[in-house]
């Protein structure tokens, strides 16, 4: 039975939680500045000065409400919102001299991304292996990351420069690169597909800060109060921030235990995964052109079958044969689907990126009980909510040049600054990659024939060649699915790290003393 929201949900400490986590910093341009602490005393002084300008969730929400008002009254002035957030790797916490760090529960965070890279499928040799990353490479001693956001380069670069001046020689800057929304295709990642469409709704009350707004995510689906908007489940906030109720694996709606990180000051903090992912766009396009010609299907449809959505954002689950731009404009319809009506993956291949990364109500584990298909689906769907992430990425690099387009080979670096938030790196970010995306036999309901997620999936074997089942169209009829081999990775890791994002009071009372 759906949880009655009037019974109450966690009160979110909006002034404590950094702003990118639950809502997202407003941004069209973002600087990622990675650093190593070289003078602990001076660095702590810097943190004390930085704390008051950290952009909190309260601040970004206030701005969201302003933006909504501006949309209703477009003649008003548009504000140039800037944002600053900071986070630390495990070795950064050690460098700060914080006690009891062994009590931090998440072993993957303690190990760090380069040590976990092979386990999530990255190559162990060559340019995409952690020894060769641009940032966060093995043994680099990366301590933290400052993110500065805003509407454009000049505004963000000015703010970033003043923050670095404030830091002085307390730190050594290891990396400073910008991400930016695409000039001619805003809101779309570099392969051309609309991004930022599906996010979990987040439970929690905010009335103490904004009396006119009871919940962080209101219920917009009148027929199902366990959903935020149609097709988008409401998830308890402990999945994304420490100190709040998490999910119950056996029940979509019931609050689970309060999620703790292992040390009291982790409350209102969370983990951030940052991955600098290079995208080989001309190679991806060439592959689509060649394979679609061979199979005799439309190139756009083949691409949509690999992603699970058309470039417009319209999902194959609703529009299996051709794009539906009208649907794409209906924000509330873009997620209004489940996979139960598509049990043989005729509409959307099991391995399509969005079906692998969020299987919704697909049967994701086989129980021994002799229960009905519907019961298996609802058990799986409840369990799947314990593996959700909040994605806050932004593209980097310029669009494909004419020369690259003609040659079919990448010569200019571009891709996605992937950022996700979760309270368990092991059970959320890594779980999705290991158990779903990179496992060709997932979901079990595909009878072992799904193959790899063709966008993101990785084959850690020597050749890295991956299998993708579902290139040819079997909707509404057709007997065989087509297994094709994907010759190489279209997405390559080139850097990143696992970070802890402290609350504003932990920054002042714990990290800077
Ligand atoms: C360059 C790399 C990537 C590209 C090009 C990419 C592209 C996309 C696109 C186009 C969508 C559909 C739009 C949306 O729902 O926002 C999407 C959804 C998603 N992606 Fe990725 N992605 C990438 C990396 C990742 C990584 C590293 C993960 C980590 C696990 C991930 C997890 C997800 C999830 C969970 C969804 C939402 C699925 C849903 O709820 O329907 N993606 N991605």
**How far is it, in rounded angstroms, from Cα 458 to Cα 353?**
12
For the residues of 83-95, what is the DSSP string, one character each?
Answer: EEEEEE-HHHHHH
Distance 307 CA to ligand 1 centre (A): 9
Distant-in-sequence, close-in-space partners of 22: CB < 8 Å, separation ≥ 6: 12, 57, 202, 204, 216, 237, 240, 241, 390, 421
| Of the candidates 179, 227, 230, the residue with the CA atom closest to the CA atom of residue 203 | 227
What tokens does 407 get? 């040659």
Nearest CA to ligand 1 atom 14: 197
Distance 64 CA to ligand 1 centre (A): 23
Nearest CA to ligand 1 atom 23: 456
351-394 tens-digit pLDDT: 999 999 999 999 998 776 778 999 999 999 999 999 999 999 99
Catalytic residue among 195, 361, 439, 489: 195
Q: Whole-model pTM?
A: 0.97
pLDDT of residue 445: 86
pLDDT of residue 146: 98
Q: Tell me, what DSSP letter sits at residue 414?
A: -
Residues with C-beta less than 6 Å from any ligand 1 atom: 189, 191, 193-198, 275, 277, 279, 307, 309, 353-354, 357-358, 389, 391, 415-416, 418, 429, 432-433, 455-456, 491
Nearest CA to ligand 1 atom 41: 354
Nearest CA to ligand 1 atom 7: 195
Distance 305 CA to ligand 1 centre (A): 14
Point out the ligand 1 atom lying closest to the alpha carbon of residue 196.
Answer: 16
What is the chain's Cα-based Rg?
A: 22
pLDDT of residue 76: 67
Which SS3 state, helix, strand or coil, does residue 96 take? coil
Distant-in-sequence, close-in-space partners of 75: CB < 8 Å, separation ≥ 6: none
Distance 122 CA to ligand 1 centre (A): 17
Q: Is 195 one of the catalytic residues? A: yes
Distant-in-sequence, close-in-space partners of 447: CB < 8 Å, separation ≥ 6: none
- Is 42 buried (19+), middle (13-18) or exposed (0-12) by CB count in 10 A? middle
Which contiguous run of DSSP H or E holds residue 500?
strand 491-501
**How far is it, in rounded angstroms, from Cα 238 to Cα 236?**
6
What tokens does 311 get? 């470039």
**How far is it, in rounded angstroms, from Cα 434 to Cα 54?**
34
Which contiguous run of DSSP H or E holds residue 234?
strand 232-235
**How far is it, in rounded angstroms, from Cα 35 to Cα 164?**
10
465-486 tens-digit pLDDT: 899 999 988 898 887 778 999 9
**How far is it, in rounded angstroms, from Cα 481 to Cα 342?**
14
Alpha-helix runs per DSSP H in 73-128? 90-95, 107-111, 113-116
**How far is it, in rounded angstroms, from Cα 31 to Cα 209?**
29
E-strand spans in 400-490? 415-422, 466-469, 483-486
Distance 191 CA to ligand 1 centre (A): 12
Q: Are 247 and 387 in contact (CB under 8 A)?
A: no
Point out the ligand 1 atom lying closest to the alpha carbon of residue 313.
Answer: 13
**How far is it, in rounded angstroms, from Cα 55 to Cα 447?**
47
Mean pLDDT in order along the chain per 10 residues (513 residues): 90 98 97 98 98 98 90 73 98 98 98 97 93 95 97 97 98 98 94 96 97 94 85 96 97 96 98 98 96 94 98 97 91 93 95 98 83 92 97 97 96 98 98 96 90 91 87 85 88 98 98 97
Q: Are 156 and 34 in contact (CB under 8 A)?
A: no
pLDDT of residue 114: 98
- Per-residue three-class SS string for 20-70: HHHCCCCCCEEEEEEEEECCHHHHHHHHHHHHHHCCEHHHHHHHHHHHHHH
Q: Are 49 and 268 in contact (CB under 8 A)?
A: no
Intra-chain end-to-end CA distance of the chain, in Å: 48
Top mutation candidate among 187, 192, 400, 456 for ligand 1, by most atoms within 8 Å of CB: 456
What tokens does 166 get? 């404030």
Q: Are 265 and 506 in contact (CB under 8 A)?
A: yes
């Amino acid at each position: 039975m759906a949880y009655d929201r009037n019974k109450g949900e966690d009160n979110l400490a909006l002034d404590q939680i950094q702003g990118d986590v639950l809502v997202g910093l407003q941004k069209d341009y973002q600087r990622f500045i990675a650093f190593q602490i070289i003078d602990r005393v001076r660095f702590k002084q810097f943190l004390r000065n930085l704390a008051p300008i950290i952009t909190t969730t309260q601040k970004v929400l206030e701005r969201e409400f302003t933006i909504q008002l501006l949309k209703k009254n477009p003649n008003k002035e548009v504000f140039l919102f800037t944002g600053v957030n900071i986070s630390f790797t495990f070795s950064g916490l050690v460098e700060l001299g914080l006690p009891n760090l062994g009590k931090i529960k998440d072993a993957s965070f303690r190990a760090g991304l380069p040590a976990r890279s092979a386990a999530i499928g990255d190559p162990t040799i060559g340019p995409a292996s952690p020894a060769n990353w641009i940032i966060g490479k093995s043994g680099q001693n990366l301590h933290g990351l400052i993110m500065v956001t805003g509407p454009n380069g000049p505004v963000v670069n000015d703010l970033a420069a003043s923050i670095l001046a404030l830091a002085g020689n307390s730190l050594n800057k290891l990396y400073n690169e910008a991400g930016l929304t695409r000039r001619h295709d805003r809101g779309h990642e570099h392969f051309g597909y609309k991004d930022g469409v599906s996010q979990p709704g987040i439970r929690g009350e905010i009335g103490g800060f904004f009396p006119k707004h009871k919940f962080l995510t209101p219920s917009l689906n009148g027929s199902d109060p366990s959903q935020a908007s149609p097709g988008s489940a409401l998830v308890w906030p402990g999945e994304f921030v420490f100190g709040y109720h998490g999910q119950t694996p056996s029940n979509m709606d019931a609050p689970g235990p309060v999620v703790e990180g292992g040390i009291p000051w982790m409350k209102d903090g969370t983990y951030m995964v940052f991955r600098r992912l290079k995208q080989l766009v001309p190679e991806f396009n060439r592959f689509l052109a060649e394979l679609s010609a061979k199979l005799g299907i439309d190139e756009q449809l083949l691409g949509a079958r690999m992603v699970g959505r058309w470039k417009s954002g319209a999902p194959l689950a609703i529009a299996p044969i051709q794009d539906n731009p009208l649907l794409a404009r209906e924000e509330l319809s873009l997620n209004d689907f489940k996979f139960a009506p598509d049990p043989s993956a005729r509409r959307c291949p099991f391995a399509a990126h969005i079906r692998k990364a969020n299987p919704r109500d697909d049967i994701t584990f086989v129980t021994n009980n002799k229960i009905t298909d519907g019961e298996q689906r609802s058990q799986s769907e409840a369990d799947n909510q314990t593996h959700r992430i909040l994605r806050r990425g932004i593209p980097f690099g310029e669009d494909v040049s004419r020369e690259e387009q003609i040659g079919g080979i990448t010569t200019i670096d571009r891709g996605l600054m992937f950022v996700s938030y979760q309270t368990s790196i092991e059970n959320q970010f890594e779980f999705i990659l290991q158990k779903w995306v990179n496992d060709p036999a997932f979901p079990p309901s595909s009878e072992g024939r799904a193959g790899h997620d063709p966008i993101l999936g990785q084959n850690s074997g020597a050749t890295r060649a991956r299998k993708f089942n579902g290139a040819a169209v079997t909707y509404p009829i057709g007997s065989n699915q087509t297994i094709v081999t994907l010759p190489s990775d279209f997405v390559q890791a080139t850097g990143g790290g696992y970070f802890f994002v402290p609350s504003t009071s932990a920054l002042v009372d714990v990290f800077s003393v």
